[in-house]
Structure formats: C-alpha cells, structure tokens
Amino acid sequence: MRRSKFKAIDFFCGAGGLTYGLRTAGIHVLAGIDNNKNCKATFEKNNREAIFLEKDITKYSPGNMRKDLKIKIKDNRMIFVACAPCQFWSNIRTNKEKSRNTKNLVLDFQKFVQYFKPGIVIMENVPGILSKEPIKVFMETLKKNKYHVECSIIDMSLFGVPQKRKRFTLMASRISKISLPKPKGKQLTVRDVLGQENGFSVIRAGTIDKTYFQHSALHLSKKNIQRLRITKKDGGDRKNWMSKNHLKLPCYSKKNIFNDTYARMWWDKPAPTITTKFMNITNGRFAHPEEHRGISLREGATLQTFPKTYKFIEANMTETAKMIGNAVPPKFAKIIGKQIIQTIK
C-alpha cells in the first residue's frame, strides 16, 4: 500500500479495526493504546507496523507517551483517533453501573490532545454521547485550541458497511478546514456478504471452527432450536411460536416489546448493529436468515467489514465477540483515512 505522510495513534484501539482501516488508506499508525491485554495479540498480528501499548489512559500521562513513542508536539501530520468504550452513553437499555467508570474517557483523551496539539483529531462513539456534557466540553476545548470541527451522526450502512450502525463521528483539524465524508456507493445487505456463495458453509449451532476462519456458532438449547425451526426464514421473529405454550416466554408476553430478540436477519436488508453480544439470539436480531443458529464469529466480523484473513487470537469466543462488536468497521475507518488525506491536500 502507498503510504501518505500522515501518521496516527489509535486510542482505545481494541482488536485494531480502526488501525487496519487507516493503514489501508495509506496512513502510518505508530501505535494502538488499550488497557485490555486480551487485544494485544490480535492487534499486533494484523497490524505488524504498529506497536500495542497496554496502558490505562486515566493513569497514563502525555509526558510518558511522548517518551515511549518519541513523538513531537504540534506535529501537523499527526492524527489522534479515539473510540472510547461507549456503553454508558448507549441508548440501549442496560444496567449502566458496570460502565460508569468509563463515562468520562473522552476527557481523559482530551488531555493528550491539549498536550500534543496534533494536526488532526478523529472521534467515533455512540449517538447518545452527542447531547452529554463530556463531548460538549471536548468540542469547546478543540475550538479554543483553533481546531475546525465537524461532527454528525453517521449511518455506516450508507458507506458500504452491511449493517445499520449509527455513530457519532467527529473530525477536527488544526491545519485547515475539514469535512466529513459523503455517502457513496450501494447499500450492502446480508446477502451481499454472507451465505454459501460468499464462503460460509452451512453449520449447526455449537459448531467450533478451530481454524483461523473461526466460523463458530454458540450452542443452543433444544428448546431454542425448536423455536428457530418454527421461526419464519428471512426476517421471521418470535410471533411464529409465542402462541405455543411449550415455547412461549412469559417475559415477552407484551406486544411490541423487544421484537428483535430471537429474530432472524433479513437477507436483503443490512444487518442490525453488531454488538458485543451478536452471537446470542436472545440479545437481538442475531439469528441466521435461514439456518437454525445464531451468526458465527466470522460472520459477525464480516458484517463489521473485517477481511476474512483477519486473525482473532483469543480462545474464548465471548472475548472474541467483544473485540469484534466493539471495533470501528475497518471499511469506514478507511473512508475516514482517505477523507483526511484528500481534504488536507
């Protein structure tokens, strides 16, 4: 790949989806920073030119990062990118207590921006953060430091990502005006990327694929398999079996409550947002369009636009699913990278 003069540091890098996308755009990523040691092997295996710094940025100082990476202050060609853990600000109705200690990570990232004043700052997060105090403070700080700021809620399905994934996206530049990318190309569907014609063999629930491809699906109880056998293929939901006493679930007795749980994806629509629990059919519309199982690890990674050669090095399926669901889709990251290069030129 042809490399531009831009270089980047990926904060909260996880498994490296954002790093990989920027690299494919031609940007040299110096390092990824994350406090989850489980991501290190995967990040480094797929992004050999970048180093993984296992650091907690609430405790890590800009001065120490300057020593570790030997980077300059006010480097116009430096890009800082951050996709902080976002569960606390998510609109999904879950218990927020576990994620409370992550709610101000945007401001922890801010101290690095203020210290180094990189040429470009990129941020991606859940839409819910837009109205919250941390992001308002962060944006005001950028403007006070003479950054031109553009931000919006972007639906990644309009950028070639085959899922309905809406995210707050911010781009800021200290060296020139900058603009967010415009939607382009065809909106991809599940059929465009999954299925036998795309290299995914028919498998059963509970299949463990020990190859790097990791076409593995969670085990399902006999009752849940019965439910899926009755569920209409291609977008069916639990209405097909809720009237059957031996299969219905009292917790879902009210109409129009969580209709996507136990539901199948549609072939000819984008997938729902791939979350960290995308393998579990009880957590959303994550059942395969026609096979009697949830989607596999590799299918989830493909919907996130990771290439099929991307190797996830983690024996635990749950941890691997978290890495995949938390990632910025590499295809969208590549679009952001190209937008930076073209805009600054």
Helix (H, G, I), strand (E, B) or coil at 248: coil
pLDDT at residue 252 in the model: 66
Active site members? 86
| Residue 243: pLDDT band with limits 50, 70, 90 | confident
Q: Average per-residue pLDDT in the chain? A: 91
% of the chain surpassing 70 pLDDT: 91
Whether residue 103 has pLDDT greater than 70: no
For the chain, which residues make up each domain, given as ranges?
7-182+329-344
Tokens (6 digits) for 237:
């939901």
| Residue 314: pLDDT band with limits 50, 70, 90 | confident
The string of DSSP codes covering 198-244 is: GT-----TT----STT--------HHHHHHHHHSPTTT--GGGTTTS
List alpha helices for the chain, DSSP H: 17-24, 40-46, 62-69, 105-116, 133-144, 190-193, 222-230, 297-303, 317-326, 330-344
pLDDT at residue 230 in the model: 94
Whether residue 277 has pLDDT greater than 70: yes
pLDDT at residue 204 in the model: 97
CATH assignment of 7-182+329-344, given 3.40.50.150, 3.30.70.260, 3.30.360.10, 1.10.540.10?
3.40.50.150
Whether residue 54 has pLDDT greater than 60: yes
The arithmetic mean of pLDDT across residues 128-141, rounded, is 89
Whether residue 99 has pLDDT greater than 50: no
Whether residue 13 has pLDDT greater than 90: yes
pLDDT at residue 260 in the model: 87
Whether residue 96 has pLDDT greater than 60: no
Whether residue 102 has pLDDT greater than 80: no
Whether residue 248 has pLDDT greater than 60: yes
pLDDT at residue 9 in the model: 98
